[in-house]
Amino acid sequence: MQLPQITPVDRTREPALRTLIDGKAKPLGALGRIEDLAVQLALIAGQPAPRVAKALLLVFAGDHGLTESGVSSYPREVTTAMVATFLAGKASANAFARAVDCEVRVVDAGVAANLKPHPSLIHAKVRKGTRNAAREPALTPDEVAQALERGVMIAWENAAADCDVLLLGEMGIGNTASAALLMHRLAPAPLADCVGAGAGHDAAGLARKLAVLEQAAARTDATDPLTVLAEFGGLEIVMMTGAILGAASSRRPIIVDGFICTAAALAAIRLDPGARDYCIFAHRSQEQGHRLMLEALAAEPLLDLDMRLGEGTGALLALPMVRAAAGLLTEVASLQDVLAGRI
């Protein structure tokens, strides 16, 4: 398949941006990593006045055949129920989105049910859930290509509608298992270091989950990104991977949520390293593998709040920091103007 072309940011512009920020009405370096974030936003925009006013959270939803082998403490029907909750505006992500003025839309990437039309639902289903990766490839190469292409198109359509910044979230029972397998092969990292409690396993459940994922990993020695995505899924992760590539090719910043969204970012960056420039990592999840996955990407997240919900909640909490960083460039007076009385 033909992936979108991503133009890496022009880092020769960074010294001038640093000089501009240093000249603001504040002590040098006083805003710490917010200054770094401001530079990243300006590099993404290709000019020193980045726009991040219009934000959209896309919650990608899909089901996983791995749940048949007991990798989750919840039944897969919870995915469909939570999609209905998002569309009713009653999930944690909806509450957080209202607090930070962000639109929420749900993407049906592969929910194992027929979902009714809704103004906030994007129908992009490739199939009703993945196959059980413990026994066979979760997806065919053609299904991976379809999911990637649909993710790219969703990002492009929203960029064309003047979306300034894209936030990623997800919903899919069993998707920490899929993300752990992707991390195992693409980081790479020992599988035991990638597997965590997910939505709430006890010790016995965690041991069962690890055993199932060891079975899945033993089926194949795949390491190239497209094959790894096909072997282990899931559809919401693959479609997020495409959305990251599409947003980056449109020069839009992407706020990446927790463990599962970071697995999609990992896959996107392995497919095109240029995508890394456009990713803003929101928070460090409590999920065991997230710290190591962030380290594999040389990523330092903005927040560490002991969260592990998903849904894009961490990305939403990071959004005000992103907007504040843009405001440093566009709204803060220069020290020279302050001293000269031109304010």
CATH number where 24 lies? 1.10.1610.10
Q: Do 189 and 62 fall within a single domain? A: yes
CATH number where 278 lies: 3.40.50.10210
Residue of 143, 295, 311, 331 marked active site: 311
Query: For residue 24, what are the domain limits?
Result: 11-50+328-339
Q: Do 152 and 37 fall within a single domain? A: no
pLDDT tens track for 271-310: 999 999 999 999 999 998 999 999 999 999 999 999 999 9
Task: Decide: residue 130, CB within 10 A, 0-12 exposed, 13-18 middle, 19+ buried.
Answer: buried
- pLDDT for the residue numbered 200: 60
Q: Do 102 and 248 fall within a single domain? A: yes
Q: Do 303 and 334 fall within a single domain? A: no
What mean pLDDT do residues 48-76 have?
A: 95
The alpha carbon dihedral of 102, 93, 154, 330 has a sign of positive
Q: Do 34 and 161 fall within a single domain? A: no
Residue 3 lies in a domain: no
pLDDT tens track for 89-119: 999 999 999 999 999 999 999 999 999 999 9
pLDDT classification of 53: cutoffs 50, 70, 90 = very high
Mean pLDDT of all residues belonging to the chain: 96
Number of C-beta neighbours around residue 109 at 10 A: 31
pLDDT tens track for 256-271: 999 999 999 999 999 9
Residue 103 lies in a domain: yes
- pLDDT for the residue numbered 272: 98
Residue 4 lies in a domain: no
- pLDDT for the residue numbered 203: 77
Residue 5 lies in a domain: no
Residue 2 lies in a domain: no
Residue 1 lies in a domain: no
Q: Do 41 and 63 fall within a single domain? A: no
pLDDT classification of 198: cutoffs 50, 70, 90 = low
Q: Do 162 and 205 fall within a single domain? A: yes
pLDDT classification of 77: cutoffs 50, 70, 90 = very high
Q: Using alpha carbons, select from 54, 14, 43, 24 the residue that is nearest to residue 329.
A: 24
pLDDT classification of 206: cutoffs 50, 70, 90 = confident
Residue 161 lies in a domain: yes
Q: Is the pLDDT of residue 205 over 80?
A: no
What mean pLDDT do residues 218-237 have?
A: 98
Residue 6 lies in a domain: no
Is 311 noted as a catalytic residue in this protein? yes
Q: Do 18 and 68 fall within a single domain? A: no
Q: Using alpha carbons, select from 75, 79, 57, 59 the residue that is nearest to residue 67.
A: 75
No. of helices (H) and no. of strands (E), the chain:
14, 6
Count of structural domains within the chain:
2
Hey, which bits of the chain come out as E strands? Answer: 55-62, 103-110, 121-123, 165-171, 254-256, 279-281
What mean pLDDT do residues 135-147 have?
A: 98
pLDDT classification of 204: cutoffs 50, 70, 90 = confident
Q: Do 106 and 25 fall within a single domain? A: no
Q: Is the pLDDT of residue 197 over 70?
A: no
Q: Is the pLDDT of residue 59 over 80?
A: yes
Q: Do 44 and 89 fall within a single domain? A: no
Q: Do 272 and 142 fall within a single domain? A: yes
Q: Do 35 and 135 fall within a single domain? A: no
pLDDT tens track for 300-332: 999 999 999 999 999 999 999 999 999 999 999
Write the CB contacts of 284 (distance below 8 Å, at least 6 apart in sequence).
Answer: 290, 291, 294, 301, 303, 304
> Of all residues in the chain, what percent are helix, strand and coil, respectively (each to 5)?
50, 10, 40
- pLDDT for the residue numbered 201: 63
Element (H or E) spanning 100, and its range? Answer: helix 92-100
